[in-house]
Amino acid sequence: MLSTPSVYEDFRQTLANFGYGLSENDYRLARFRTDLCFAAQTIEDLKTASTAGHGKVPPDKVRRSPIKTIDGLLALMLRWISS
């Protein structure tokens, strides 16, 4: 996580708002972690921010099963583009 809590909260809320804007324009979202040690907690924090308050992302717009490889991400994107 970022070292300053207020900076981290602003960053997290900015990402949540961005996701909300995408979902409002009928885009679907996929959250996936990287090899960075703090990625798992950041993803959980983003999930919380994305499902609360004004910027709530509809559940049907968010991929819930894990994406484990870049090939898996690319395959998912291809399926979404094709549908």
Q: In Å, how far from its chain's centre is CA 23?
A: 11
Mean pLDDT value across residues 26-50: 72
How far apart (Å, rounded) are the C-alpha atoms in residues 82 and 79?
5
The whole-angstrom separation of Cα 7 and Cα 82 is 38
Contact 51, 57 (CB under 8 A): yes
Beta bridge partners of 82: none
- How many domains does one find in the chain? 1
Q: Which residue is it, tokens 């960053």?
A: 11
Angle between helices 5-24 and 39-50 (to 10 degrees): 60
Summarised one tens digit per residue, pLDDT across range 55-78 is 677 777 776 667 778 888 888 888
pLDDT of residue 53: 61
Quote the domain boundaries for residue 73: 5-82
Q: For the chain, what is the mean pLDDT?
A: 75
Q: Is the pLDDT of residue 1 over 60?
A: no
Question: Residue 80's Cα: distance from chain center in Å?
Answer: 16
Q: What digits encode the pLDDT tens for the residues 19-31? A: 888 888 888 877 7
